[in-house]
Amino acid sequence: MNVVLIFSVLILIAIAIWQVTKIFELSQVKKVSTQVADDNDNDWNGKLMFAFLIFIYGITIFSFWSYGDVLLPKAASEHGYDYDNLMWISFAIIFFVQTVTQALLHYFSYKYRGEKGKKALFFSDNEKLEMIWTIIPVFVLAGLILYGLYTWTDIMTVEENDEALVVELYAQQFNWKARYSGDDGVLGDANVRFLEDFEGKNLVGIDATDPNGFDDIVVQELHLPVGREIIFKMRSQDVLHSAYMPFFRAQMNCVPGMITEFAFTPNITTEEMRQDPDIVSKVKKINKIRVKKSKELVASGDVALDPYEFDFLLLCNKICGASHYNMQMKIIVESPEDYKKWISDQQTFAEVIQ
């Protein structure tokens, strides 16, 4: 009963406020709107355009100042320099053009705003001006496209060679597995039809009839030797995934029913990356946030967060289901000697199924 009474009172108050506003509106002298901007409107529009110019440059400077450190640090692969160089050149050109054009647009909107007695000059055409603003973008865009195609071709060209390490990345909801070719340097044939063989021990569906597969090694932590080219062969068990390794500037879709590939050469070890001043600074910021969060978790009875330590990661960059956010695998880049020691301690497919 109390709820009904309160609801009724609120409705009556709303009606009373509405009636008061209608009475106030009727008591005012109505101004006839001609729908045509007058000098006052033009003046305000010009000033607002100029104010918006100051605002967008202010927010741009603030964004660079506050969020500039969220960009990835230096690349950890040999092709990363070319990739980053192309990105920064594109950024510089876009930022320069955007700065100039927006400044002219907003400033001229203010300077040449409509004023009493001012008449606009009309030019039907200006061939010289049109030629300039057509030819310059053509050459700039052609240069960017050609540079981009050259960089793309250089990065995406994968050439088989005996010195490269062949690794398969196997994606499934919601985890990654890595398969290394054995001493023969050749990955054995594999298919999802073989996943149930050997009482579920065949984690990536290796074909037991192919002798090249018996020395293959399947793990769930990716180890890479620094300074050696890695050729990745990528498969998906179920849906479309994307193998994304941001610090190596590498990404390739994993498509069910086909094999995709990508290659790069890591040039910085995990330990060297952890000592990089940029990484150290970011880790300190992250741990400062985690300490604060840990105190909140402890207060609520949950377990505190462990300190964060930098690691290279393999992520899925395609939304593949409910646990997509958690689909990741740690990547450890180490010296060739440490890699050889690690790989020698792993079980081959033949040893797993025996």
Burial of 110 (0-12, 13-18, 19+ CB in 10 A): middle
Whole-prediction pTM: 0.75
Helix/strand number for the chain, H first, E second: 8, 10
For residue range 179-212, list pLDDT tens digits in order.
998 887 788 888 888 888 787 788 888 888 888 8
Give residue limits of the domains in the chain: 39-67+74-114+127-156, 165-272+308-353
Handedness of CA 70, 76, 77, 78 (dihedral sign): positive
Question: What was the pLDDT predicted at 30?
Answer: 59
Q: How far apart are CA 121 and CA 174, in angstroms?
A: 65
Task: Report the chain's terminal Cα–Cα distance, integer Å.
Answer: 76
pLDDT in tens, the chain (354 residues): 566 777 777 887 888 788 777 777 776 665 656 667 677 888 888 888 888 988 988 988 888 888 777 778 888 999 989 989 999 999 899 889 988 888 888 888 888 887 777 777 777 778 888 888 889 889 999 999 999 999 888 888 888 787 888 999 999 988 999 999 888 778 888 888 888 878 778 888 888 888 888 888 899 999 999 999 999 999 998 899 999 999 999 999 999 988 999 999 999 999 999 998 888 888 888 888 888 888 877 777 777 778 888 899 999 999 988 999 899 999 999 999 999 999 989 888 888 887
Alpha-carbon distance of 104 to 50, in angstroms, equals 10
What angle do helix axes 80-111 and 127-156 make, rounded to 10 degrees? 160
pLDDT digits (tens, 9 = 90+) for 237-259: 889 999 999 999 999 999 998 89
DSSP 306: P
Q: What burial class does residue 254 get, using C-beta atoms within 10 Å of its C-beta: 0-12 exposed, 13-18 middle, 19+ buried?
A: buried
For the domain made up of 165-272+308-353, the CATH class stated in words is mainly beta
- C-alpha 48/C-alpha 58 separation (Å) is 15
| Tens digit of each residue's pLDDT (9 = 90 or more) over 267-294 | 999 999 999 888 888 888 888 888 888 8
Element (H, E) at 222: strand 222-225
Our measurement of the distance from residue 75's CA atom to the centroid of its chain's CA atoms, rounded to an integer in Å, reads 15
Distance separating alpha carbons of residues 247 and 332, to the nearest angstrom: 12
C-alpha R_g of the chain: 31
E-strand ranges in the chain read: 165-172, 175-180, 217-219, 222-225, 230-236, 241-245, 250-254, 260-264, 312-316, 328-334
SS3 content of the chain, % helix, strand, coil (to 5): 50, 15, 35
* Contact call for residues 167 and 231 (beta carbons, < 8 A): yes
